[in-house]
Amino acid sequence: MNSDLSKLIGTTSNARLRLRLLAVSHFIDGKNRTEIASFLKVSRLSVNKWIKAYLDFGVEGLVEKPHTGRPSRLTIEQKKHLKEYVTSNAIKPEGGRLQGSDITQFILDEFDISYQPSGVYRLLHELNLSWITTRSKHPKQSEEAQESFKKIPNRNDP
């Protein structure tokens, strides 16, 4: 049984799981929990929890559970609506770009939920929206005028 743990310790890429497996391996080898904690430079309480999890559930008990965190303040439908708004209004027809303050105001007006600027940018990252934008264009700029300007010779032309 300890050889299975040794193989698992050698093959796992998760450092936390490896440490827990080492603790269990030392426990199976007959070391006491205080010695194991001293060897691995962790608290005795952690070693106790890991060994109890292993004895109750096996190796699966040592695998870290997903951290769910706080639930989002916006529903999935609201996030879809926000993404549609941002993608359709990223470039304003009157010139300029959509700013974080504009998105904050939209969320407040549309969903009656208040967000800090950092929360808005985190939310945009979660929606896979990059905050890097192209250079803005003036609403009155003319492509023909730019092309004709490029054809004007200057002193440095050969």
58 and 108: one domain? no
Task: State residue 1's pLDDT score.
Answer: 55
Cα(16)–Cα(91) distance, integer angstroms: 46
Question: How does pLDDT run across 95-111, given as a tens digit for each residue?
Answer: 667 888 889 999 999 99
For the chain, what is the mean pLDDT? Answer: 88
Dmax (CA) for the chain in angstroms is 88
- Tell me how far apart the alpha carbons of residues 60 and 150 are, in angstroms, rounded to a whole number: 68
What DSSP designation does 72 have?
Answer: P
* 144 located within any domain: no
Give the count of domains, the chain. 2
What's the domain range around 39?
Answer: 2-62
Question: Residue 48 falls within a domain, yes or no?
Answer: yes
For range 106-128, the mean pLDDT: 94
H-run or E-run covering 11: helix 2-11
Residue 113 lies in a domain: yes
Residue 143 within any structural domain of the chain: no
